[in-house]
Chains A and B, each alone.
Chain A
Amino acid sequence: MEMRIISLTVNDTAYEVAVKPWQTLLEVIRDELGLTGTKRGCEIGTCGVCTVIIDGKAILSCLTLALECEGRSITTIEGISTAESLHPLQKSFIENGAVQCGYCTPGIIMTGKALLDENPDPTDDEIKEALAGTFCRCTGHIKIMEAVKKASHPAGEKE
C-alpha cells in the first residue's frame, strides 16, 4: 500500500517517480510528470484520448498501472515533435483541417503514429481499424482519416 519508487522512461528521458499501486499511467504522466498533452477522457477505455505508445503499441494509459510500466519505453505526444519542427502527422492534421477543439487530437495522433510506425503504407481499412478506438465529436472522422492517409504518403514520395 506504500509508495514505491520506480524509474519510468518517457520520451527517452528517465524519471524517478514515487507512485502508489493504484495510480494509472495517465495520472502519473499528467499529475507527477506534468506532461499534460495526454488527455483524460472516459477513463474506461472507450474514447482513446489517453493513448500513448508503449514499446511500439498504442496503449490506453487510463487502464495501465504506472508501476507496471517500469523498464518500458513510453512515448507521449510531447515526444514526437521538437521545438523547431512538428511530426509529419501533426503537420498533416493542420494542413487537412483534422483539428477543431483539439481535445482528442493527441490520442488520435499517437494512435496514427503507432499505426504508421508499424505499417508505413496502410489501406483505408487498416486506418479505420486502427482509429476505431478513438473518438472525435467535432471534427468528424473523415478529415482525420484523410490526414493519417496523407501523412502515410508524404508529398514527393507519392507513387
Chain B
Amino acid sequence: MRLPRFGYIKPSSIEECLNLLQEYGGKARLLAGGTDLLINMKYRVASPELVMGIKGLPELSQIVMDDKGYCSIGAGITLSEIVSHKQIASDFPAFHKAVQSVASKHIRNMATLGGNICLDTRCWYYNKSKWWRDAREVCHKMGGRECHAIKGSPRCHAINSSDTVPVLIALGARVKVVRKGQERIVQLKDFFQDNGARPTVLAPEEMISAVLIPREASSARPAFIKIAMRKGIDFSMGSIAGLLAQNGKGAGELRLVLNCIGSAPITLKKTVLVIAEAGFTDAAVERAALTARSELGALTNLFTSAGYKRHLAEVLVKRALNELNELPGKNRSK
C-alpha cells in the first residue's frame, strides 16, 4: 500500500505550525508518530493536502512537574519515553501500566501521547481499503449519511480505542488546546463527544500541546485493566480505569471510566453510586457490576458483540473494584 500524495512541511516552531493549521484548516494534518495517521492515509480514509511533521518540536517534547501542581507531559512525548520515566511510573502507576499496554514496543517507540489521545475512532466498515469501502454506501465518518454498524443510526458509532484516555480521565487530567494566538484548558472528560465521526471537540485549526495530570491524584489508589485478544499488540476489546481517593477512614471519591466499547469513554456515574452508598461489600460489588451493564447505552457489534461488551463491562467493573479495595501493600499488579 502506497501513501497518497501530499505536500510536506516541517514547522520549526509551534507558532509556525499553528499559523499553517489556521491557513489550511481541515486540509492539513499533524504527523508525530505516524502510527495512526499514516495507516489511515494508506487506507485513504485520510488524504490531507498538507502533512506537518511535528516530531521533535521542542515545545511538545517536555515532561515537567510544574509549579501549579501538574505533571505536564508534552503531546509529542513518545509512549516509550513515558514508560521509561521513573517519576511517572512511581506517581501514576496505572497510567504507566496503560501506556505500556499500548500496541507493541515498536509502536510505543514512535507513537506519542497526543496521538493516542487524538487516536481516530475505528470501525469494521471504515478501516478498510478504498476499493472495499466503495462497494457500500458512504458512511457518516466518510461524510455520508449511513451507519453500517447500526442501520439507520443518525450518527457514527466507530469505537474509541485509546488505552491512555480512561486512566487520564480517572486521574482528572486536562489537555492544553492551542490555536493561533489562543490557548484553552479542557478537562479530558469533556474533550470527547459520543460521535465516532467527530470524536473530539478539537477544531480543525486546533491541536493539543500538553496533557496536565494533577499531581495530587498520585495519592489516590489507581487501577487499570485492559482486555485484548492478544496481550502483545492488539487494540483493547475493553479497558477500565479506576481511581479511589483516600480521604480519612471511609471510602473516598471513586471514579470508574470504561473505554473501547463506544465512540467515547464512558464515565460510570450510577455504578460508583452503588459503592458510595453501600461500601466495598461483596454484594455491593456484584450490584455495581450489574449497574454498569445498564449504564452503557446503545452498543454496536463492532469487533465484539454488544452482549459481549456488556459482559465485559460487568467483569471489568468487578475486577477494578476488587483491585481498588485490596489492602495497600498487597500485590496489586494483576
Q: Which positions in A face B, CB cutoff 8 Å? A: 1, 20-24, 27, 43-46, 48, 51, 57-60, 63-65, 67-68, 111, 129-130, 132-134
Contact = CB atoms under 8 A, between A and B. Distances in A.
B232 A132 contact: yes
A63 B34 contact: yes
Contact of A60 (B4, B42, B110): B110
A113 to B, nearest CB: 13
A51 B106 contact: yes
Rank and list the top 5 A-B pairs by shortest CB-CB distance, nearest first.
A133-B104, A132-B232, A21-B8, A133-B106, A22-B3
B284 interface: no
A60 B107 contact: yes
Among the interface residues B4, B53, B233, which one has the most CB atoms of the partner chain A within 10 A?
A: B233
Given A59-B106, A133-B107, A1 B5 contact: yes
**B-side interface size class:** 20 to 34
Contacts of B80: 57
B105 A130 contact: yes
B52 to A, nearest CB: 11
B103 interface: yes
Interface string B212-234: 00000000000000000001110
Interface string B1-20: 11111111010000000000
22 contacts: A1-B5, A1-B7, A20-B5, A21-B8, A21-B51, A22-B2, A44-B1, A48-B104, A57-B109, A59-B106, A60-B35, A60-B107, A63-B38, A64-B34, A65-B8, A65-B34, A65-B53, A132-B104, A133-B103, A133-B105, A133-B107, A134-B104
Contacts of B46: none
A60 B1 CA distance: 15
Contacts of B110: 59-60, 63-64
